[in-house]
Amino acid sequence: MPGGRTAADRRADEVYDEDYDERAERSQRRPREALSPATVTQAVLRDVAELTGKQPSGVTALERDDDGWVVEVEVVEERRVPSSGDILSIYRAQASAAGALTGFRRVRRYQRGHGDD
């Protein structure tokens, strides 16, 4: 029948729907895989760069907490000549388990070479 659906078409749709429902149910039972530390770190570095307007120079700490991740990022705040006079900062960023930034703040500011006084 032109434009009409046959009994076989309807049965195929039912089988597909049952299979789809079963896959959806299995995926809801399976725990979501957590993002890797490297993936979370890259997301945090992008966010810190966007929010500060400065290019991060590296990650100084990364740890998991109950709510996700805590990442400390070093940023060159002011470039000076010679570079030993650069002013650096450490930002502590919190990210969800999915890698979304949930908060950040500057926790230290220091001159290059004088960071651990």
Q: Using CA atoms, how far apart are residues 6 and 3, in angstroms rounded to an integer?
A: 10
Average pLDDT on 88-109 reads: 95
Q: Using CA atoms, how far apart are residues 75 and 112, in angstroms rounded to an integer?
A: 11
Evaluated on CA atoms 26, 23, 36, 88, the torsion sign reads: negative
The model carries a pTM of 0.67
56-65 and 101-111 as β-strands: parallel, antiparallel, unpaired?
unpaired
Looking at residue 47, its pLDDT comes to: 96
pLDDT in tens, 64-96: 998 899 999 999 999 999 988 999 999 999 999
Q: 114: which DSSP letter?
A: -
Q: Using CA atoms, how far apart are residues 90 and 87, in angstroms rounded to an integer?
A: 11
Looking at residue 109, its pLDDT comes to: 96
> Which bin fits 13, alpha (ψ -120 to 50), beta or left (φ > 0)?
alpha
